[in-house]
Amino acid sequence: MQESQSDLGALLRSWRDRLQPADVGMPTYGSRRATGLRREELAQLAGLSVDYLVRLEQGRARRPSAQVAASLARALQLNNAERSHLFVISGLLPPTSGEVPSHIPPGVQRLLSRLGEVPLAVFAASWDLLSWSPLWTALLGDPVPSGKARPNVLRSHFGGENFSRSEVRYLDNPGALESFEASLVADLRRVFGRYPDDLGVQTLVADLTHASERFRELWDSGAVSEHQSERKVVRHPTVGEVELDCDIFTVAGTDLRIVAYSAPTGSDAADKLDFLRVSAVSAAVAP
């Protein structure tokens, strides 16, 4: 047991050392003494305190939770074998095929870090938010304020949990909102059948069935389908209304959803996104 605990700290340090800020979409300023990511950078990516990460690397924290292990695996861009090993040496059972995948493969992580001009986010099949770009935050606000859990799209919509500071609405087509709701719930039923052992999905369905009459009505309909893309209007507190295409891409083999907002080049919406991107960069480099 002692050897595994020591191995955990050594592996976390070696995995951290092999990543550069550019690999995770972080800017690099000035000289760096760290071989790879700084502890502060990894802690930020994984949503952990620096003190807790130090204790993990030094072997003083011995049993990270499954949520912490999954967050570290995503932040460190581990492959599937490395992720499973991280769970094992942490005294945890690796996720099974009956659970919704939440691990973002390294290639997808690198792709996302290079798409800085697009507001995008990665969701699990059950619509739990996993990762997002700085421009997503600039457009929609910080999706995970300090001390809050990462949101779920269905909990946000049907359970009244605020997902963003900006108001998001659908184009004024008759029935657009109703179609969106029906599509989301039918998609969740598909996921419910695909991952029968996932306790998170079971809890999500039970909670929303109890909390929302609209959700219960749609769930009882038995409809099954895959959620599709649609155009949306984001009402931002600074730049006003921004009409955007919202596209959803599925990562083969993982059921992860990449959600991206975009606008035609030269459009008013594209200019507003450029303004938010520059503002986000300026905020990141401000002392």
Residue 230: closest CA among 274, 276, 187: 187
CA dihedral defined by 8, 13, 17, 23, rounded to 10 degrees?
A: 60
Q: Which range scores top for mean pLDDT: 35-39, 110-114, 261-265?
A: 261-265
pLDDT recorded at residue 2: 41
CA dist., res. 72 & res. 3, Å (int): 20
CA dist., res. 118 & res. 135, Å (int): 6
Q: Give the pLDDT confidence of 177-189 residue by residue, as tens digits.
A: 888 899 999 999 9
CB-count exposure of residue 146 (10 Å: 0-12, 13-18, 19+):
exposed
CB 164 within 8 A of CB 143: yes
Beta bridge partners of residue 234, listed in sequence order: 168, 242
CA–CA distances in Å: residue 47 to residues 33, 37, 73, 135: 23, 15, 12, 18
Give the count of beta carbons closer than 10 Å to the beta carbon of residue 237: 9
Report the run of H or E that residue 223 belongs to, with start and end.
none
The tokens of 103 are what? 């691990």
Q: pTM of the entire structure? A: 0.76
Label residue 280 by pLDDT band (50, 70, 90): confident
CA dist., res. 34 & res. 28, Å (int): 12
CA dist., res. 219 & res. 216, Å (int): 5
Query: Angle of helix 2-17 relative to helix 80-89, nearest 10 degrees?
Result: 140
CB 113 within 8 A of CB 25: yes
Q: Give the pLDDT confidence of 56-102 residue by residue, as tens digits.
A: 998 888 789 988 998 899 889 998 889 889 999 898 888 777 888 88
pLDDT reading at 204 higher than 90: yes
Q: What are phi and psi of 43, to 5 degrees?
A: -60, -40
CA dist., res. 4 & res. 90, Å (int): 8
* Average pLDDT of span 22-31: 72
Label residue 30 by pLDDT band (50, 70, 90): low
CA–CA distances in Å: residue 211 to residues 124, 160, 216: 22, 9, 9
Sign of CA dihedral 59, 61, 66, 67: negative
CA dist., res. 261 & res. 149, Å (int): 23
Domains and CATH numbers, the chain: 2-89 (1.10.260.40), 106-285 (3.30.450)
Percent of the chain with pLDDT over 70: 87
CA dist., res. 19 & res. 30, Å (int): 17
pLDDT recorded at residue 174: 67
